[in-house]
Chain A
């Protein structure tokens, strides 16, 4: 597949890795913000191939992982109502709330369906006017436009039986929170290429400047990612803290203005709770008053109580890059992808889950 296979070329990855090897002279701690990038690193074992001096820590960029358990509890509660059909993305079906996940709700008789696209959610609402279709819509900046479009389109069509249970998060406030922490070890960031495709580069450039930390936008294939890491290492070795875009075939400086417009038409910025990280000011999106009739949390009086996380879980530190999943005593014992305790074990993109799936101690990785 064009623009995919060539960016998995092993020779090119090796050439880029060799160049990193030649460039690096001392240890650096880098964070890939996005869970998709974590997935690529684990899937291809890139962290094993990077020079020892380059330590990758995994960021909070997995929307499934950071969706608050309270929202899932709410979704489960709504799904169990007889008049409700709850639709959501495949990833969300197995994410546990404080009591159960949506699959378990389905086992108890709830009408829960999976969709690939928000447009499919609308299609279900159109086809079943007798049901109220609630779309559990989660995501970062990348997904928000599509979710917003569902609301916008529902309004345009005058659909009366459709609403959004929305939980959207924004990357820059989380990164700022991370950088503001005195414990932060991260010296350079690989910024999330698909978030920047939509949101543009301005905020990341400002952060690079304000916090004097290099930030490079990276893609999701091995070549893209290693290229971004090379740029970061080069900057750090040269003593520069700049912003750069290493995913230019998709990301423009302004981002996608059409997508940004639909997001600000339907949503407004609001405080948001992140699973595993707590509340971060102005880090989420909520549905504007104008579209209140499509807001499930307004239609069905919602009180979100965020359950407490067990003390054993070091998720918050993992998401800030302070510790590794393998540092956690629950990792792989009481906390597994089937029985997740912390947010990072919840989705395949979460750092703990990726570690659990692809890497385990005592596995011989050399031929």
Chain B
């Protein structure tokens, strides 16, 4: 529903009291409001929706998941690799089909 694209913050400036980052998407630059990601620094990636960064892309987390996915690909799923997700409480499912 919501088109959000990762881009790299190349510069940060103040404009009308709003923190604006110059964010690079492929070959273009777009000014993006960093109001919702005040901790982001130049060089990091943000996920941008309608001109606002809605999150900082977690590089370490992306790396962790990516290496698990790659491992899965290499093993072609022969061995039970732990699924790269964060899970929480476990409950029995409501509906099951025979």
Contact = CB atoms under 8 A, between A and B. Distances in A.
Interface in A111-159: 116-120, 139-140, 142-143, 145-146, 149, 153, 156-157
Contact of A243 (B3, B61, B88, B92): B88
Contacts of A227: 69, 84-85
B26 A118 contact: no
B2 A142 contact: yes
Nearest to A230: B83
A14 to B, nearest CB: 9
Contacts of A157: 16
Contact of B51 (A118, A220, A236, A243): A118
Contacts of B42: none
B65 interface: yes
A139 to B, nearest CB: 7
Contacts of B89: 205, 208-209, 242-243
A66 to B, nearest CB: 9
A230 B72 CA distance: 12
How big is chain A's contact interface, by range?
35 or more
A211 interface: yes
Interface string A30-69: 0000111000000000000000000000000111000000
Interface in A1-50: 1-4, 6, 11-12, 15-16, 18-19, 22, 26-28, 34-36
A342 B49 CA distance: 27
B17 A156 contact: yes
Contacts of B17: 156
A241 B94 contact: yes
A143 B2 contact: yes
A239 B93 contact: yes
B47 A245 contact: no
B83 A256 contact: no
Interface residues of B, number: 54
19 contacts: A2-B8, A3-B62, A26-B98, A36-B3, A61-B1, A63-B2, A142-B1, A157-B16, A194-B1, A194-B47, A197-B47, A205-B89, A216-B85, A230-B83, A234-B83, A242-B91, A249-B62, A249-B65, A259-B52
B49 A143 contact: yes
Contacts of A176: none
A4 B36 CA distance: 22
B86 A142 contact: no
A166 interface: no
A250 B47 contact: yes
B54 A194 contact: yes
Contacts of A146: 33, 49-52
A18 B76 contact: yes
B18 interface: yes
A312 B84 CA distance: 44
A18 B77 contact: yes
A171 to B, nearest CB: 9
A252 B54 CA distance: 12
Q: Which of B2, B4, B69, B88 has the most CB of A within 10 A?
A: B2
A27 B57 CA distance: 35
A149 B84 contact: no
B72 A117 contact: no
B62 A139 contact: no
A258 B38 CA distance: 9
List the 6 shortest-distance A-B pairs measured between CB atoms, nearest first.
A117-B51, A212-B94, A142-B2, A241-B93, A249-B62, A3-B6
Contact of B36 (A12, A153, A195, A262): A262
A224 to B, nearest CB: 10
